[in-house]
Chains A and B, each alone.
Chain A
Amino acid sequence: MRSLILRTTALGLLPTTLLFAAYLLWRGHHLPGGGFIAGLVVGAALVVHGLAFGGAATRARFSAWLTPAAPLGLAIALASGLPAVLAGRPYLTHFHGAVPVPGHGPVAVSTALVFDLGVFLVVVGVTAALLAALAEGDDR
């Protein structure tokens, strides 16, 4: 399935999909989206890349980013609950604030987003690990 059309399309599709995933992650708190969905979108993008270029090439290109993704995501998710403990509240109480962005107005940020980022990284890491393990030595 190493067709030229697929390869070109996949290469063009990849950055757009990643951007879309980031967008889904960002807006998850107010509109449909969130960490799980964004992570799965990135997983689908990896599948397309693998279909176009083969498992070995995909792994060679992305493994440096994706191997530590799952543990890193877990660590981030665990850490996002710690500011609450330091402030004397129960673990995983989320704090919400607003960061003023010039020319746009206040942008809402919160530790919930950090937690969602952790979830996102875990899902990306898990999908990538399973794909890499199954697609090894494969021509598809």
Chain B
Amino acid sequence: MSAAVTALSLLALPFAAAGAALAVPRRLAGILALAVALTVVGLAVPWWSAVSETPLLLPFAWMPELGIDAGLRLDRLGLFFVLLIGGIGAAVAQYSRVYVAAGDARGFWPLLLAFMGAMLGLALADSLLLFFVFWELTTMASALLIAMSGGPEARRGAVRAFAITGAGGLCLLTGMILIAQQADAWTFSALAAKAGAITADPAHIPALLLMLVGVATKSAQAPFHVWLPGAMAAPAPVSAYLHSATMVKAGVLLLGRLFPIFSESPLWLPVLMAVGLTTFVVGAWNAWRSDDLKQLLAHSTVSNLGMLVAMYGIYARTGATAELVNIANHALYKSALFLLVGWLEKATGTRDFSLLDREHWIRAEPFGGALIGIGALAMAGVPLLFGFVAKEGFLIGVLGTPGPVAGLAVAAALLGAALTVGAAFKLFIGTFWGPEPPTLERGHPRKKRSVWLLAVPAVLLVPQLVGGVVPAWQVRQLAGPGAQWAGGPAFWHHFDLLLVAGLAVFAVGGALFLLRTRLARLPRLGSLIEPIDASAGVMIGLARRLGDAMQAGGTGHHAGLTLLAALAALAPGLALAVGAARSAPADVLWAQAGLAVLPAGLVIAGALAAAAVRERFTALVLAAVAGYGLALFYVLLRAPDLALTQVLVETVSLILLLLAFKRLPEPRPEPLAVGRLAIALAGGLALALLAWSAAVVTPADPAGAQQAALAEPVGHGRNAVNVILVDIRGADTLGEIAVLAVAALAAVALLAPWRGRGATPAKPEVEGGGSCDR
């Protein structure tokens, strides 16, 4: 299979399966999702060794005139993410098949598959714009999945997530466009080739900062981290997949893509280390303070993401060969922990730590407890687990920081590590080793729980054990060529500063855990929730006020505003046209008149009569008469298609309007509104001037003549109008029929409350519905 076919099928498969999952029953959709995830892994594995050294670029020309293409790339980082997405996706799919209740929302499997496709697109994209499109798709899929469980809490969490990551996405797009304009390159590989020139020019700084804002919002860095705990309203498998393993890592993936371009920039190391270490500490503090186990994991994820971001700052000094080690470590154990918390909730009936702290669950659930123990110890970075190797790499990197703030950085890293240890102990020891006997009847009985609820996390935790016992082998699989690891990864080097630091971290963490009840009064950190919710509320309120000003007050008010706006937009062009028309010879107009006086008279008579008559239905019919007069015009101008269309549209519209007007209440007699009369007269005058100048001024090369000449040779058709509609300007027609379909959908939806209530509803419940005919 060639690289291009592999890449395209990796992209197309999840989206096609998402479409299919909409139609098939839920059980089949679950099996389909599992199959797709395993296929993704199967497609990607053969390419791992091929792209280990050099990336494989697959350019697709999109808009060659602008130099924009939709290129894809297969390289170590991208393929690793593909394997992660597919592998953890398979685990989550299997887990969801037994966890997500049958009564849950229908959109689960299609959204999950669509999300998988969007993440794969992120991993494979080389083109900046394609990357952004998939970035936004993951934002949308994530918000929809969070809101899926229903309820006001879930909706608030979804809106918050969407607002923060969406705003970050806009910053990302701006940054991407700035840097692409500066360097005249629209793909990551082309930008990397020009890295030196880009970073030498200080104009790259705003672009870099904007893109880093995008990274910070997506990967929940402080102060934007507040959306991730709110996203925990989603079910456990969604949290495991999106908010620990893949979507939040999208920011880290972007850092990996930006690293070859911007690592020389003076801003890279300081900004990333500052943001990353702050997030590391803030997240760890909040994790240690949490009383809900899922919130604990969410805050711990924030903390780990801070660590990953800080690592990318450190890589500017040491080189990015070990990037996959940290990402793999965190994704695997954190997703397993989220799945295990889902199991715990089913087994014990609660996630509340204050209840579980008192109960002794380990004898009732030994296997689940052991798995959570492994996960928690990996989080703490205990030796003999892979988490230790990753944490060691982090501490070594921070200890090597040069400069005056090195002490602060090291202190922050150690503090965060200690807090993480405290949180990990809370998760394992606190949950399972309480004094009182467990309340077994609160949870589901063991027989009703599927064995997969424990088996899947167990599989995900295996790399932790393997990597802990033989770390050198595992690191070699993941690390890039030429990776430097001082003394080789192992769990015992010798008695040095690092060992002392590690032991101190454990001591402090243990103390924090033991003192947890004493320190329970301390607050959580860094909550920007109120300002963000407030600004979202302000925007929604503004939109509502604007809508009320424009649309309430009846059709006449709304039509008047629209017409005013149209006239304002038309005014400059109209002035130009009239100026050109006045210089044309005076008798050209009358020479063309001839028979056109007849339909003109019909139109004028119909329009004036429609305006003068009081009876509604008569007015409608007279307006239609004006329309038929216009059709006669088209006949005289020798445009049969236009005439046919005009007659048919006029007839069907007349019927539709008559049916619609039947439902409206009788209009109240009211005095003449001078303002509306003025607007109507102005509109009529403007159009008349436009028609006059169009008739009198004959341009040198009329636009239609060229296209009409092309009809036969290129379009193989003698009806130029149809050829233009269908062939030459086919894309426009496609847009028009799409608009038609959407308009019909909206009309049907808006008319739904009026169904089955006869001709004139006494008190319409739709807002502003009663005043439609003023």
Residues of A whose CB lies within 8 Å of any CB of B are 28-37, 40-41, 43-44, 47, 70-71, 73-74, 77-78, 81, 91-92, 94, 96, 108, 110, 112, 115-116, 118-119, 122-123, 125-127, 129-138, 140
CB distance from B635 to the nearest CB of A (A): 11
Question: With A81-B730, A96-B716, A122-B740 given, is the CB distance from A138 to B659 under 8 Å?
Answer: yes
Alpha-carbon distance between A29 and B663 when the two chains are bound, in angstroms = 41
For the complex, is B719 an interface residue (Cβ under 8 Å from A)? yes
- Contact between A30 and B719 (Cβ–Cβ < 8 Å)? yes
- Contact between A127 and B652 (Cβ–Cβ < 8 Å)? yes
CB distance from B592 to the nearest CB of A (A): 23
A–B pairs, 22, beta carbons within 8 Å: A28-B726, A29-B722, A32-B640, A34-B722, A35-B725, A70-B741, A70-B744, A70-B745, A73-B737, A74-B738, A77-B733, A94-B715, A94-B726, A94-B730, A112-B726, A125-B744, A129-B744, A129-B745, A130-B744, A131-B655, A133-B747, A140-B659
Question: With A34-B725, A47-B655, A77-B734 given, is the CB distance from A112 to B747 under 8 Å?
Answer: no
For the complex, is B645 an interface residue (Cβ under 8 Å from A)? yes
For the complex, is B743 an interface residue (Cβ under 8 Å from A)? yes
- Contact between B718 and A31 (Cβ–Cβ < 8 Å)? yes
CB distance from A67 to the nearest CB of B (A): 10
Q: Which 6 A-B pairs have the closest CB atoms?
A: A40-B648, A29-B717, A32-B640, A134-B659, A126-B744, A133-B751
- Residues of A near B668 (CB, < 8 A) are none
- How many chain B residues touch A (CB < 8 A): the figure is 46
- Contact between A112 and B659 (Cβ–Cβ < 8 Å)? no
Alpha-carbon distance between A92 and B250 when the two chains are bound, in angstroms = 34
Residue among B651, B730, B748 having the largest count of chain A Cβ atoms under 10 Å:
B730
- Residues of A near B726 (CB, < 8 A) are 28-29, 34-35, 94, 112, 115-116, 119
- Residues of A near B719 (CB, < 8 A) are 28-34
Residue among B649, B744, B751 having the largest count of chain A Cβ atoms under 10 Å:
B744
For the complex, is B662 an interface residue (Cβ under 8 Å from A)? yes
Alpha-carbon distance between A110 and B652 when the two chains are bound, in angstroms = 30
- Contact between A34 and B656 (Cβ–Cβ < 8 Å)? no
Instruction: Please name the residue on chain B nearest to A136 by beta carbon.
Output: B755
For the complex, is B644 an interface residue (Cβ under 8 Å from A)? yes
Among candidates A37, A78, A108, A118, residue contacting B648 with C-beta atoms closer than 8 Å: A37
Alpha-carbon distance between A110 and B738 when the two chains are bound, in angstroms = 22
- Residues of B near A125 (CB, < 8 A) are 741, 744
- Residues of A near B659 (CB, < 8 A) are 131, 134-135, 138, 140
Residues 726-774 (chain B) with a chain A CB within 8 angstroms: 726-727, 730-731, 733-734, 737-738, 740-741, 743-745, 747-748, 751-752, 754-759
Among candidates A96, A122, A129, A132, residue contacting B737 with C-beta atoms closer than 8 Å: A122
For the complex, is B417 an interface residue (Cβ under 8 Å from A)? no
Among candidates A36, A119, A129, residue contacting B645 with C-beta atoms closer than 8 Å: A36
For the complex, is B660 an interface residue (Cβ under 8 Å from A)? yes
CB distance from A19 to the nearest CB of B (A): 17
- Contact between B744 and A92 (Cβ–Cβ < 8 Å)? no
B692-728 vs A, CB cutoff 8 Å, 1 = contact: the mask equals 0000000000000000000000011111011101110
B655-672 vs A, CB cutoff 8 Å, 1 = contact: the mask equals 110011011000000000
Residues of B whose CB lies within 8 Å of any CB of A are 640-641, 644-645, 648-649, 651-652, 655-656, 659-660, 662-663, 715-719, 721-723, 725-727, 730-731, 733-734, 737-738, 740-741, 743-745, 747-748, 751-752, 754-759
- Residues of A near B737 (CB, < 8 A) are 73-74, 77, 118-119, 122-123
Alpha-carbon distance between A112 and B714 when the two chains are bound, in angstroms = 12
- Contact between A122 and B751 (Cβ–Cβ < 8 Å)? no
Alpha-carbon distance between A135 and B651 when the two chains are bound, in angstroms = 16
Question: With A30-B718, A137-B756 given, is the CB distance from A40 to B652 under 8 Å?
Answer: yes
Instruction: Please name the residue on chain A nearest to B648 by beta carbon.
Output: A40
Alpha-carbon distance between A132 and B744 when the two chains are bound, in angstroms = 11
- Contact between B757 and A137 (Cβ–Cβ < 8 Å)? yes
- Contact between A37 and B641 (Cβ–Cβ < 8 Å)? yes
- Contact between A126 and B740 (Cβ–Cβ < 8 Å)? yes
Alpha-carbon distance between A138 and B758 when the two chains are bound, in angstroms = 6
- Residues of A near B649 (CB, < 8 A) are 40
Question: With A36-B645, A41-B648 given, is the CB distance from A78 to B744 under 8 Å?
Answer: no
- Residues of A near B734 (CB, < 8 A) are 77-78, 81, 92
Question: With A29-B723, A37-B641, A135-B659 given, is the CB distance from A74 to B741 under 8 Å?
Answer: yes
- Residues of B near A135 (CB, < 8 A) are 659
Among candidates B721, B740, B758, residue contacting A137 with C-beta atoms closer than 8 Å: B758
CB distance from A55 to the nearest CB of B (A): 8
CB distance from B593 to the nearest CB of A (A): 25
CB distance from A50 to the nearest CB of B (A): 8
Alpha-carbon distance between A112 and B751 when the two chains are bound, in angstroms = 35
- Residues of A near B662 (CB, < 8 A) are 138, 140
- Contact between A112 and B727 (Cβ–Cβ < 8 Å)? yes
Alpha-carbon distance between A78 and B660 when the two chains are bound, in angstroms = 32
Among candidates A35, A36, A77, A131, residue contacting B656 with C-beta atoms closer than 8 Å: A131
Alpha-carbon distance between A27 and B743 when the two chains are bound, in angstroms = 28
Alpha-carbon distance between A96 and B662 when the two chains are bound, in angstroms = 48
- Residues of A near B656 (CB, < 8 A) are 130-131, 134
Instruction: Please name the residue on chain A nearest to B758 by beta carbon.
Output: A137
Alpha-carbon distance between A133 and B659 when the two chains are bound, in angstroms = 10
- Residues of B near A118 (CB, < 8 A) are 737
Alpha-carbon distance between A65 and B655 when the two chains are bound, in angstroms = 22
Alpha-carbon distance between A129 and B741 when the two chains are bound, in angstroms = 10
Instruction: Please name the residue on chain A nearest to B647 by beta carbon.
Output: A40
Residue among B648, B745, B757 having the largest count of chain A Cβ atoms under 10 Å:
B648
- Residues of B near A134 (CB, < 8 A) are 656, 659-660, 663, 751
Alpha-carbon distance between A118 and B740 when the two chains are bound, in angstroms = 12
Known: A30-B717, A77-B737, A134-B751; 8 extra A-B contacts, CB below 8 A, are: A36-B645, A74-B741, A125-B744, A131-B656, A132-B748, A134-B656, A136-B754, A137-B758
CB distance from B430 to the nearest CB of A (A): 54
- Contact between A92 and B730 (Cβ–Cβ < 8 Å)? yes
Alpha-carbon distance between A34 and B717 when the two chains are bound, in angstroms = 12
CB distance from B644 to the nearest CB of A (A): 5
Instruction: Please name the residue on chain A nearest to B712 by beta carbon.
Output: A30
Alpha-carbon distance between A4 and B734 when the two chains are bound, in angstroms = 42
- Contact between B717 and A129 (Cβ–Cβ < 8 Å)? no
Alpha-carbon distance between A43 and B655 when the two chains are bound, in angstroms = 11
Instruction: Please name the residue on chain A nearest to B663 by beta carbon.
Output: A134
Alpha-carbon distance between A91 and B719 when the two chains are bound, in angstroms = 23
- Residues of A near B718 (CB, < 8 A) are 29-31
